[in-house]
Structure 1
């Protein structure tokens, strides 16, 4: 087995996230995702068919962002981790979310690690 870490970093999306009335509208959230992916062997033909095409993750997050939203960052990162772990090659995932505009002097975030 060969393990690779696939990284989607500084992915900014507008999503409804929060419990306060002012958070009813989408707000900027920065996401970072790290997936440890196990392959039977290292890619040899240099084709996407040999590896995990990370477009599924970006597209899936956009679908989540277009949905009804989340009350909690914990729920958001769980949903993204579930999306990643739906592919059996993903052995471990680390997801971080950061609300960028909640406070003028700080960002507020949540991080989760899930593994098979």
Structure 2
């Protein structure tokens, strides 16, 4: 069984950032409108092996993890966000603007909302149209 979210990604490298924690102005409840709260991001990027297999062991040959951290910081610094779905989608769209990223998975979770559960969260996956990134086959 293929564990990839999309079979077209079988020739990709998955780059991931786990547990990226930020204070985010998010939420619709009164208590959430008063102050920023902790949000944890888990993000996967899928990059074709041809675009991220270093030949000279140089950072310029791969997608740098800093790109992901910078995107999250830029998105959360823009404004208060009501919904995790909106936050997830905004981060996703920004990540997919990278020319080498062909698909991404973004997960957000708020660990401090309810006392009786570990976290509440949202996860989204999106793949660019394969015509935009797949090399033609002969």
**TM (normalized to structure 1)?**
0.93
User: Match of 1:109?
Assistant: 121
**TM (normalized to structure 2)?**
0.79
Higher relative contact order (CA 8 A, sep 6+): 1
Report if aligned partners of 2:71, 2:95 keep a CA contact under 8 Å in 1: no
1:16 to 14, 21, 25: 25
Unaligned runs of 5+ in 1: none
Does residue 65 of structure 2 align to residue 54 of structure 1? yes
Report if aligned partners of 1:73, 1:109 keep a CA contact under 8 Å in 2: yes
How many pairs are equivalent? 116
- Write 1 or 2 for the structure with the bigger share of helix: 2
Shift of 1:68: 1.3
Larger radius of gyration: 2
